[in-house]
C-alpha cells in the first residue's frame, strides 16, 4: 500500500503525511549517522545537477521578532517547497527557534506526493549539507572541530561531521553554559571526545574546522579576525537572514568564500557585509568538478551557508524514497477528488449521507 500511495496516482488521492513521531521513528529505523550520510549523498547528487533546477531566493516575510519563509524549487519533474520560520525569541518562551514543514509534488499532475514535518528534517539536512561541503573544502585529514553556539543544531553538526569526515574531537562553546552542558550530555554517550570551553578563543584553538551556529537575529561578531589562522575551514551556519551575521568582515576578505545561491546569500549570509561584486564561488561548481575548492593547505575556506530550497528538495526526495515499504507515515485525506472531476459540488452533496 505504501508504494501505491507514493506514486501519487491513487484515485483516492490519499497523501502520505510524516508526523514528528514518524520522522523520529524513521530516523532511528535507519540510524542517525546513516540517515545523515545517505541524505548528504542526495544533496550532493542534486548539487551536481544544479543547472536543472528552477531557482529563486526564498520568499521571506520579516518582522521585528523573526521571519517566515517559503522555499520553493523544481527540477521539472518534481516540485518541492518548505515553510519555515526563524524566531530567536521563541527560546525564551519555551518554543523552538525554527519550525518547518514541507511538500513534494508531481509536476505532471500537480498532486502532492508527500507532506512532512521538517523541523527535525531541516536540522538533519543542514548538518548533512555542512559536512558534505566540508568534505570538498576542509583541510585534508581534519580531525578537530569547534562548534560555537550549542543550541538545537549543534549535535546534528557533530554527528554529520563524524559520519562524513571522521571528526570525533569536538570543542564546544556557548554564551549560555546550560546549552553547552546540554550538548555535552547528549554527545558524551555517543563516543565523542568533548571539551567544554569558556570562550570562543579557547574553543577555536588548534582546530581544523570552525562551525558557527548561533541564533540571535543581529549583526554579531562571534569570530574575530585574530581567532582564525591559516588552513582553517569555517562552516558559517548561523547567519541566515538580513541583518544577521556571525563573522568579522576582515575574516571574509581573506577567505575563499563558497555559497549555495549568490542571489540569496548576498542578502542573507555573511557576505551581506561585502560589496555586491565581491567574488564568491558557487558550491555546486566545486562538486560538479567545474572549479577547484580550497586553493592550498594554508587557505581559509568559508562555506557561507544560509540554506537553499534545493537542499530541502533533496531531503524531501530522500524521505519519500525511504518511506516505501514502511509504515512510518499516515494516510492523509487531503485532496477533494470526485469520481467525476467536474462534479465537485455533487461530491459535497452526497456527503450529506
Four-residue CA torsion sign, 300, 306, 309, 313: positive
CA–CA separation, 224 and 221 (whole Å): 6
| Cβ pair 306, 280 in contact under 8 A | no
| Cβ pair 236, 222 in contact under 8 A | no
pLDDT of residue 217: 62
- Indicate if 187 and 288 belong to the same structural domain: yes
- Indicate if 191 and 87 belong to the same structural domain: no
CATH of the domain at 94: 3.30.1780.10
Residue 65 annotated in active site: no
Catalytic-role residue among 46, 174, 208, 240:
240
| Cβ pair 164, 145 in contact under 8 A | no
| Cβ pair 329, 17 in contact under 8 A | yes
- Indicate if 212 and 334 belong to the same structural domain: no
- Indicate if 150 and 109 belong to the same structural domain: no
In the numeric block, which cell numbers belong to residue 340? 467525476
pLDDT of residue 7: 39
- Indicate if 284 and 345 belong to the same structural domain: no
Q: Is residue 133 part of a domain?
A: no
Q: Is residue 34 part of a domain?
A: yes
Radius of gyration of the chain (CA): 21
pLDDT of residue 281: 98
144, 229, 244: which is closest to 194 by C-alpha? 144
- Indicate if 144 and 270 belong to the same structural domain: yes
- Indicate if 163 and 188 belong to the same structural domain: yes
State which residues form the domain around 15: 2-120+310-350
- Indicate if 222 and 238 belong to the same structural domain: yes
- Find the largest Cα–Cα distance for the chain: 74
Residue segments in the chain with a per-residue pLDDT below the cut of 70: 1-12, 216-218, 239
- Indicate if 298 and 157 belong to the same structural domain: yes
Contacts of 268 (CB under 8 A, 6+ apart): 239, 240, 241, 242, 244, 306
pLDDT of residue 91: 82
pLDDT of residue 243: 80
CB atoms within 10 A of CB 312: 27
pLDDT of residue 65: 87
Residues 77-90 have pLDDT tens digits of 999 999 999 888 88
Q: What is the pTM of this model?
A: 0.92
Q: Is residue 134 part of a domain?
A: no
User: Domain end: 277, 293, 308, which one?
Assistant: 308
| Cβ pair 164, 133 in contact under 8 A | no
- Indicate if 158 and 294 belong to the same structural domain: yes
In the numeric block, which cell numbers belong to residue 313? 528538495
Number of domains making up the chain: 2
Amino acid at each position: 500500500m505504501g508504494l501505491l500511495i507514493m506514486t501519487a496516482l491513487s484515485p483516492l488521492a490519499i497523501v502520505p503525511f510524516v508526523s514528528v513521531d514518524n520522522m523520529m521513528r524513521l530516523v532511528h529505523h535507519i540510524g542517525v549517522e546513516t540517515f545523515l550520510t545517505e541524505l548528504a549523498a542526495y544533496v550532493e547528487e542534486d548539487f551536481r545537477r544544479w543547472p536543472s533546477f528552477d531557482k529563486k531566493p526564498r520568499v521571506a516575510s520579516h518582522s521585528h521578532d523573526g521571519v517566515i519563509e517559503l522555499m520553493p524549487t523544481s527540477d521539472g519533474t518534481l516540485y518541492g517547497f518548505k515553510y519555515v520560520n526563524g524566531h530567536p525569541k521563541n527560546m525564551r518562551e519555551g518554543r523552538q527557534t525554527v519550525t518547518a514543514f514541507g511538500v513534494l509534488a508531481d509536476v505532471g499532475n500537480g498532486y502532492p506526493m508527500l507532506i512532512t514535518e521538517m523541523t527535525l528534517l531541516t536540522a538533519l539536512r543542514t548538518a548533512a549539507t555542512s559536512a558534505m561541503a566540508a568534505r570538498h573544502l576542509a583541510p585534508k585529514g581534519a580531525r578537530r572541530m569547534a562548534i560555537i553556539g550549542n543550541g538545537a543544531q549543534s549535535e546534528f553538526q557533530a554527528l554529520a561531521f563524524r559520519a562524513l569526515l571522521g571528526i570525533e574531537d569536538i570543542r564546544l562553546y556557548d554564551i549560555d553554559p546550560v546549552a553547552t552542558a546540554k550538548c555535552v550530555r547528549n554527545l558524551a554517550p555517543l563516543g565523542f571526545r568533548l571539551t567544554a570551553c569558556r570562550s570562543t578563543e579557547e574553543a577555536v584553538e588548534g582546530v581544523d574546522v570552525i562551525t558557527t551556529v548561533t541564533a540571535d537575529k543581529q549583526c554579531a561578531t562571534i569570530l574575530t579576525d585574530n581567532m582564525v589562522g591559516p588552513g582553517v575551514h569555517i562552516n558559517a551556519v548561523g547567519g541566515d537572514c538580513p541583518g544577521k551575521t556571525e563573522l568579522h568582515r576582515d575574516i571574509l576578505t581573506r577567505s575563499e568564500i563558497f555559497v549555495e545561491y549568490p542571489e540569496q546569500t548576498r542578502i542573507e549570509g555573511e557576505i551581506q557585509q561585502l560589496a555586491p561584486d565581491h567574488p564568491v564561488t558557487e558550491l555546486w561548481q566545486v562538486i560538479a568538478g567545474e572549479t577547484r575548492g580550497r586553493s592550498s593547505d594554508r587557505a581559509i575556506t568559508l562555506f557561507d551557508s544560509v540554506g537553499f530550497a534545493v537542499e530541502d528538495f533533496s531531503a524531501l526526495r530522500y524521505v519519500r524514497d525511504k518511506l516505501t515499504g514502511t509504515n512510518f507515515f499516515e494516510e492523509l485525506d487531503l485532496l477533494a477528488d470526485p469520481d467525476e472531476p467536474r462534479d465537485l459540488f455533487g461530491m459535497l452533496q452526497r456527503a450529506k449521507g
